[in-house]
A = this chain, B = another copy of it.
């Protein structure tokens, strides 16, 4: 997505050789009009997959996921990193390790929210090592539903996530693929 690449170049900040900060339109401040275009793009890419639900993990995934759900006219589930007081006992859980934050979060979904008839699209803001996406995959599969695709706003292609998801056989579309952040510069694939 050319517009996304341009905004990454213009507004992104590279920190070290691993971290790309895009908090002027995605991670702290959100541009909702741009997010709607991102949602429409995901909807177009995954239209043939008969998506029945979109799923994401809090918090930065929520805006692109909600806009994708709006474009596809399907519900959006967001997964929390902490079990809220309102959660009942009937939950499915899995652990997700964050390499960035060096913590393990237990994520959960209420039983019955996904059914074996569901074809679920995972949406996330970043793909790095793939831990978050693979955690969502486990929750979907524990629910008996089918993973119909994975849509990523910014993929850091120099980390392991994309390869892991490809090898596991999931259909991944990333709107921007970052080949390298070396020397403070963003290089894209292709």
Q: Are B86 and A32 in contact (CB under 8 A)?
A: no
Within A71-119, which residues are at the interface with B (CB < 8 Å)?
A: 73-78, 80, 84-86, 100-101, 109-110, 113
Q: How many residues of A contact B (CB 8 A)?
A: 36
A98 → chain B closest CB, angstroms: 10
Q: Does any Cβ of B come within 8 Å of A30's Cβ? A: yes
The stretch of A20-28, A134-142, A180-188 that contacts the partner chain: A20-28
**What residues of chain B lie closer than 8 Å to A67, measured between beta carbons?**
32, 66
A96 → chain B closest CB, angstroms: 15
A78 → chain B closest CB, angstroms: 6
Q: Does any Cβ of B come within 8 Å of A29's Cβ? A: yes
Chain A interface (Cβ < 8 Å from any Cβ of B): 15, 19, 21, 23, 27-33, 35-36, 58-59, 62-63, 66-67, 69-70, 73-78, 80, 84-86, 100-101, 109-110, 113
